[in-house]
Structure 1
Amino acid sequence: MKIDMKQPILDKNDRLAADNRALFKEKGVFVLDLLASPGSGKTSTILATIEALRDEYNIAVIEGDIASNVDAARISAQGIAAVQINTGGACHLESDMIRRAVDALDLDNLDLIIVENVGNLVCPTDFDLGEGAKVMILSVPEGDDKPLKYPGVFQASEAIILNKVDTMEVFNFDEQAFRDAVTQLNPAAPIFPISATKGAGVDEWADWLRAKIEAFRA
Structure 2
Amino acid sequence: MTTSSASATPPLPYTPGYPIRTERLDLRPVTDDDFAAIHAYQRLPEVCRYLYWGPLDEAGSRASVAAKAARTTLRDSGDVLQLAVVVRETGILIGDVTFVWRSREHRQGGIGYVFHPAHAGHGYATEASRALLKLGFEELRLHRIQAELDGRNTASARLLERLGMRREGHLRENEFLDGEWSDEVIYAMLAREWRDQQKEGRQRE
TM-score by length of 1: 0.31
Higher relative contact order (CA 8 A, sep 6+): 1
Structure number with higher strand proportion: 2
Structure number with higher helix proportion: 1
TM-score by length of 2: 0.32
